[in-house]
Structure 1
Amino acid sequence: MPGMTDTTGAAAFRAAIESGDLDAAVALFRDDVEFLSPVVHRPYRGREELHQILTAAFATFEDFRYTHEYGGPDGHVLEFEARVGDRGVQGVDILRDGEGGLSRLTVMVRPYSAATLLRERMAALLSG
């Protein structure tokens, strides 16, 4: 729910992403954070990889905005909308709380055509 009280790092993560402060966003996660990508099978691990991925995502998504927020005792879901090129994207950031900071970020996106374009653009940024 927009404006819900957040006792975890989700509100701080959302604020950091909305303000473009990737360093602050990444600092909210534990050193051994696990990132689960919408387009890559293997999990990414660690703050350095997470920072690289978020940097590429910032360069790829246009008009990114969070639209809804849902919370529970061990995590939060932040729903978002954006564009990748001419494709509209809907997705969620699933944040898992852990002792010592956020422990996992899982991203899911739809539709498939936008996810495919996202994969192509992110791969070019991350390999270059």
Structure 2
Amino acid sequence: MPRYLSMIRIDEKDVPAEGVSPDLQKRMGELLEEITRAGVMLDTAGLTPSAQGTRLTWSGGRLSSTDGPFTETKEVVGGYAVLQAKDKAEALEWTRRFLQVHGEEWTVSAEVREIEGS
């Protein structure tokens, strides 16, 4: 069965000031439990803010390093999920449901891509 990476993208400037509400945590926990019971979820996690990250770039035969936050980047990967689904449509459906768990105060998007060789 193919595996898919769902990269959850956020604009860190638009994250609600109160962060993740207890209600959102509950709804998200219930959905993640359902995805896991369905045998689709292989791994998932949120990521620390980009201010705590480092970007390495190889260009022109030279390696450079930039500490976050990455001001030139509007959206960053805020989390991910590795899904094992029967096809891309199923992976997209689970990702849609994850996005819809968020309230109207959130702006969040996802990029879903098949993991090569899966």
State TM-score, norm by structure 2.
Answer: 0.35
Larger RCO (CA within 8 A; separation ≥ 6):
2
Higher share of residues assigned strand: 1
Higher share of residues assigned helix: 1
State TM-score, norm by structure 1.
Answer: 0.33
| Structure (1 or 2) with the larger CA radius of gyration | 2
